[in-house]
Amino acid sequence: RLLVDLPDAENRLKILKVILKDEDLGSDVQLEEISKLTEGFSGSDMNNLCNAAAYQPIRDYLSLEKKNSNSDNITTTSGRTDSPDSSDIGTPTPKLRSLMMSDFIQAKKEISASVSEDTQSIAELRAWNDLFGE
């Protein structure tokens, strides 16, 4: 048997680089800092963190779109709300903003490590690995 332990900061950094290789990262994103903030995270946890962070620009866009559509609606004297003409159907979708460090900080509040370093089972697995592992 072989124990595959949780990744250390250096390996979490490598995982982040692989997961985020095709993402548009803002200039303030510090992958090294994120790797340090995610002690105890597995590769799967890192993927969940990045997914949660990637949703933030979408949430911001939808919030802004909702705000703009509410201000574009016109209330008639009968109390009915009319939307503007839908002639903008062919309008290209605007580009989402880049991922920012704050997106990862917020995602870290939502996503936690799936394995606790303090659990006795982890300590037992490591002790077994020291005795019998390869």
pLDDT digits (tens, 9 = 90+) for 91-101: 666 678 999 99
The rounded distance, in Å, linking the Cα atoms of 46 and 15 is 7
| Angle CA 88–89–93, to nearest 5 | 90
pTM for this one?
0.71
The percentage of residues in the chain with a pLDDT greater than 70, rounded to a whole number, is 70
The rounded distance, in Å, linking the Cα atoms of 118 and 116 is 5
pLDDT at 4 over 80: no
